[in-house]
Amino acid sequence: MEIQDKILALREELTQHNYNYYVLDNPTISDFEFDLKLKELKRLEDENPIFFDVNSPTQRVGGMVTKNFPTIVHEFRMYSLDNSYSVEDLQEWEKRIEKALGEKVEFVCELKYDGASISILYENGQLTQAVTRGDGTQGDEITNNIRTIQSIPLKLKGNYPERFYMRGEITIPLNTFASINKERANNGLELYANPRNTASGSLKLQDNTEVAKRGLQCFPYYFIGNNLPYTTQWEMLQAADELGFKIPHTSKLCTSLEEVLAFVDYWDNERKNLPYETDGIVIKVNSFSQQDELGYTAKSPRWAMAYKFKAEAAETELLSIDYQVGRTGAITPVANLAPVSLAGTIVKRASVHNEDIIKKLDIRIGDIVYVEKGGEIIPKIVGVNTDVRQPETAEIEFIKNCPSCGTALIRKEGEAQHYCPNENGCEPQIIGRLEHFVSRKAMDIESIGGETAVLLHKANLLNNIADFYTLQKEDILPLERMAEKSAQNIINSVEKSKEQPFERVLYAIGIRHVGETVAKKLVKHFQHIDRLMHATMEELVSVTDVGEKIAISIKEYFKEEQHQIIIQRLRDYGLNFEIGEEAKPISDSLEGKTFLFTGTLTKFTRNEAQKMVEDHGGKNISAVSKNLNFLVAGDKAGSKLKKAEEIGTVSILTEDEFLIMING
Ligand code: AMP
Ligand code: ZN
C-alpha cells in the first residue's frame, strides 16, 4: 500500500474507534490495540510530514502551545438567554409568544449545561476554527485546545452542511473538577471556585497537552449558518447526532407547557445524579420559522428561555473560624458551622478562602449564614441573613499572628492570601514540606508516607528536606513500630529517589506557585539549576505558563541563603539538577537561530511550527528586524515579507523548505 493510503486508512479507522469510545460509549477494540495503532500512525506522520493534517487523530493528545489567543469577531452573534425562576414566569412567556405568533407552539427542553460556550466552524466537514463566546460579539480563538476534546468530531460523518457553526457548551466532569482542586490544594494553590470557571479556565490553558488531560465534554445545542436544511430544533439535534456529535439524551420534545413543567420538575431533583453541573433548563420554540418570526431582543432570543433551579442552599449558624497553615505558609480560614443537612450530606465546615472574602460577605460569629454546595469539594458561605443578626456582633478581624507559631503574618501586595513567614520554625510548614517532598508526584518515596515523615520529624531526625539523605538505619530502628525490614526499606527508597529527574526535584523542593507543569516547563527551558537560579525576571516570564507572580516567587526563593544551602546539600547527595537526556529538546540544530512565520500556512499551523522551532533549540520572535534569521512565508504573505526583503539579511523560506530544514 502507498504510504499515503496507509495513513488515510489508519486515520479513518482511529477516528471510528474514537467515535465508538467517546460518543457511543461502546469501544470495539482494547485501549492497548488503539494505542498501538495510534503510535503507528504517529510514526508514519512523523516520517512523512507532507501528509500532515491538523485534524488527524494524532493531534488530539496535544503538544501545541498557544501564547496569545487571537481575537475573532463572531460572524453570528452569540446571545445570552433570558431567565425565569418560576412556573408563573414560564406561563407568561408562553402567552407572550403565542400572542405574537397567533398560533400554538411546540417546545424543545434541554438541560442548561453549566460551562463555557463555544462556537466551532465546520467547513466541508472539517473542523477549522473554534472561538469562545467572549462578549458575544468577539471571542478568543482556541482551535488547538478544542481539538483535544475527544467527543468533538474533527471530521463530520454523513450528510453535513457545507459551512456552519456548531454552538455548544464545554463542561468539566465533576470528578475531574474535584481532583484538579485536590491537586491545587497539594500544591498550595488557590482552589478553583466552581466547575464553570474551571471549564473556561481549561479552555484558555496555553499548553493543549494539559487541556487534553482535563476530560472536557462538549454538549451541542445549536447550528447556525446560511441556508441550513433543518426546519426544527428537534430535527437539528437529531442531525447533530448523525454528524457524529455526542448529543445528551436528556433533551425532550414537548407539545404543551404542561409537559415542559413536568420536565422541569423531574430534572430539579434528577440533576443531582448527573456527572456534570446544570443550573437550569433551556426551553426553546421548536419551529425555526416561528423562531425567525419571534426574533431577538438586544440581548437574547425571544424564542428561548432559561429556567433557573434554586441553588442548593441551607441556613445555619457560624460558630467560629479556624485558620489553617499550609506548607508554603499560606493561611486559609475555615468556618465551623452548626451541623446542617445540605444536598444529602451533613455540613459542618465551609471554606472562606481569604480575608477579602470574609470582608465582602461581612460574616460575623453567631450569624445565620447561607451555605451552598456547587460542585465544590467543601461547601462555601455565600451570604448572611442580616435580618436575624444579633445586635452585639462584631466584624471578624483576620488574625495577625500565625495560629501555630505566633509569628506576625504578612500579606504581599496583589496577593489575596496571608502568609506566615517563619518558614523554619513553624511546625505545619515544616511538616507540610516534608510530606510534599515524599509525595507521589514529587520524589515518590514510597516507604515514607506522610505519616512516617512526621514521625521522623518528631524524633528530630528530619528538619528539612535535605535531611532525608542523612538518615541512618541505626537512628530509625529504635522508633516505634520500626523493624529491621521497614528501616532498610526507608534507606533504600531514599537512595533510589536520587534517580528522580530534575523536574520532579524542582517540584519537590516546594517553591510557592511552582506546580508540576510549571516545573516541567522551567526544566525544559533552563535545563540546569544554575541557569534557573540566575535567571532574570525577563527570562523567567518568557517561559510558557510562567507569569509575573510565579517569576517573583522563584526569584525570592533562590535569594534566600538557607534555600541555597539546602540545594547545595541536595546536589552533594547526588540528586538531579540537570535535565535528563530523554527530556532534552529533540535537537539543537536551530540553536541561536530565530524564526517568524507569516501568511497563510497550509502544511502546519503557526503553533505547530513554533513548537518545531523550539524542539530544535531555535527561538520564535514576533517582529521582522535585523535579529530575524528566517522568515517562513505562506500564501498571501504581506508587509512582513516585504520588510524582510528590504532588510536583506533575512532568509526567506517556503513551508516545504522549512520542513526540510527541520527533518533533513
Ligand atoms: P447566560 O450565560 O445565563 O446568559 O446563559 C446563556 C448561556 O447558556 C449560553 O451562552 C450557553 O453557553 C449556555 N447554555 C447551556 N446550555 C444551553 C442550551 N441547552 N441551549 C442554549 N444555551 C445553553
Ligand atoms: Zn507559623
- CATH number of 468's domain: 1.10.150.20
In contact, 204 and 142? CB cutoff 8 Å: yes
CA distance 5 to 334: 61
Residue ranges of the binding site for NAD(+): 31-35, 80-81, 110, 133, 169, 284, 308
Share of the chain above pLDDT 90, in %: 57
Task: Specify whether 218 is located in the same domain as 146.
Answer: yes
At residue 149 the predicted structure's pLDDT band, cuts being 50, 70 and 90, is: very high
CA of 80, closest atom in ligand 1: 4
At residue 344 the predicted structure's pLDDT band, cuts being 50, 70 and 90, is: low
CATH code, 614: 3.40.50.10190
CA distance 92 to 463: 69
The amino acid at 388:
V
Among 77, 114, 117, 171, say which to mutate for ligand 1: greatest number of ligand atoms within 8 Å of CB.
Answer: 117
Task: Specify whether 216 is located in the same domain as 363.
Answer: no
Position 575 in a domain = yes
Mean pLDDT confidence for 406-414: 91
CA of 78, closest atom in ligand 1: 10
Side-chain half-sphere CA neighbours of 185 within 13 A = 15
Task: Specify whether 481 is located in the same domain as 509.
Answer: no
**Ligand 1 centre from 112 Cα, in Å?**
6
Domain boundary among 445, 479, 498: 498
Pocket of ligand 1 (CB under 6 A): 80-81, 110, 112-113, 117, 133, 169, 221, 282, 306
The per-residue pLDDT for 375 is 47
Task: Specify whether 526 is located in the same domain as 491.
Answer: no
Residue ranges of the binding site: 31-35, 80-81, 110, 133, 169, 284, 308, 402, 405, 420, 426
- In this structure, which residue's CA is closest to atom 16 in ligand 1? 112
**Ligand 2 centre from 345 Cα, in Å?**
33
Provide the domain limits for residue 483: 427-498
Residue with the bigger pLDDT between 121 and 277: it is: 121
Nearest partner of 116 among 60, 168, 153, 51, judged by Cα:
168
Position 431 in a domain = yes
**Which single residue is written with the C-alpha cell 501528509?**
51
The per-residue pLDDT for 544 is 66
* Beta strand segments in 133-216, E: 138-140, 163-171
At residue 135 the predicted structure's pLDDT band, cuts being 50, 70 and 90, is: confident
Task: Specify whether 34 is located in the same domain as 154.
Answer: no
**Ligand 1 centre from 569 Cα, in Å?**
55
pLDDT at 115 over 50: yes
CA distance 245 to 84: 29
Task: Specify whether 548 is located in the same domain as 609.
Answer: no
- In this structure, which residue's CA is closest to atom 4 in ligand 1? 80
The per-residue pLDDT for 607 is 67
Domain boundary among 467, 482, 498: 498
**Ligand 1 centre from 116 Cα, in Å?**
8
CATH code, 110: 3.30.470.30
**Ligand 2 centre from 614 Cα, in Å?**
43
Give the closest ligand to the alpha carbon of residue 112.
1
Position 289 in a domain = yes
598 phi and psi, to 5 degrees? -140, 160
Give the closest ligand to the alpha carbon of residue 423.
2
- In this structure, which residue's CA is closest to atom 9 in ligand 1? 80
Task: Specify whether 494 is located in the same domain as 523.
Answer: no
345 phi and psi, to 5 degrees? -125, 160
Q: Which helix (H) or strand (E) holds 475?
A: helix 473-476
Task: Specify whether 436 is located in the same domain as 479.
Answer: yes
Position 492 in a domain = yes
CA distance 174 to 272: 11
Position 394 in a domain = no
Residue with the bigger pLDDT between 650 and 588: it is: 650
Residues with a known catalytic role:
112
What is the tally of structural domains in the chain?
6
Task: Specify whether 492 is located in the same domain as 508.
Answer: no
pLDDT at 374 over 70: no
- In this structure, which residue's CA is closest to atom 11 in ligand 1? 117
Q: Which residues, in sequence order, are CB contacts of 408 under 8 Å at separation 6+? A: 400, 401, 402, 421
The per-residue pLDDT for 616 is 83
pLDDT at 178 over 50: yes
The per-residue pLDDT for 16 is 93
Position 631 in a domain = yes
**Which single residue is written with the C-alpha cell 539543537?**
588
Task: Specify whether 455 is located in the same domain as 373.
Answer: no
Give the closest ligand to the alpha carbon of residue 134.
1
Task: Specify whether 442 is located in the same domain as 362.
Answer: no
Domain boundary among 477, 498, 519: 498
Residue with the bigger pLDDT between 260 and 389: it is: 260
Task: Specify whether 479 is located in the same domain as 515.
Answer: no
Among 78, 79, 81, say which to mutate for ligand 1: greatest number of ligand atoms within 8 Å of CB.
Answer: 81
At residue 377 the predicted structure's pLDDT band, cuts being 50, 70 and 90, is: low
Q: Is 0.95 surpassed by the pTM of this model? A: no
pLDDT at 380 over 50: yes
CATH code, 346: 2.40.50.140
The per-residue pLDDT for 343 is 65
Position 168 in a domain = yes
Position 299 in a domain = yes
Nearest partner of 342 among 316, 317, 307, judged by Cα:
316
